[in-house]
Amino acid sequence: MEPGFWKLPFAAVTWRRWAYVITGALLAPVLVPATLLGLGTGVERARSRWVRDDRPTRRPGWWRGAVYALVNLPLSLALGMFFGYLTTLWFYWVAYPVLFWNADLSVGTWGGPTWIGAVALHMAPAPVMLFVGPWLLRQAARLHTGLVRRLLG
């Protein structure tokens, strides 16, 4: 059962999906040669059990592993870079007041002539992304596990 809107950013399933997407980007370049040889499919099937509700059904053939390796590399890199960048941005947005504590933000920055206006404007995306990010992450994990389900079983 999926947690509600207010609980989803703090639920374990969200963190499992985040770890699944980030490790996919880190492992994809390493697993391409192994998957092309038919050896890396077990690792991907085991990783997909982190976020899937069902169990893998069959062992894939060599050609399915090769197709998966070629499709998985750009998909995993794109998803990993996107969510890695969003994570980095989120921490930047939250830390903005600390990073620019004594800075004069009244000249050349957005948010108005005061320090509090600039900080409020630069911190505004953080709570939005805190609650929108898990929904984007759910769709990304669903896309990737759907690829695993169709090609690797």
Per-domain residue ranges of the chain: 8-151
What pTM does this model have?
0.82
Sign of the dihedral defined by the CA atoms of residues 107, 111, 117, 119, in that order: negative
Q: What are the average pLDDT values for consecutive 10-residue runs of the chain, which has 153 residues?
A: 84 92 92 82 83 73 85 94 95 90 69 76 91 93 90 83
- HSE toward the beta carbon, residue 20, CA cutoff 13 A: 26
Encoded amino acid at 9, one letter = P
Residue 19 · residue 146 · CB < 8 Å:
no
* pLDDT given at position 65: 85
* pLDDT given at position 120: 86
Q: Is 90 helix (H, G, I), strand (E, B) or coil?
A: helix
* pLDDT given at position 111: 59
Instruction: Return the C-alpha torsion angle 105, 110, 112, 115, nearest 10.
Output: -30
* pLDDT given at position 137: 94
Distance CA(87)–CA(81), nearest Å, equals: 10
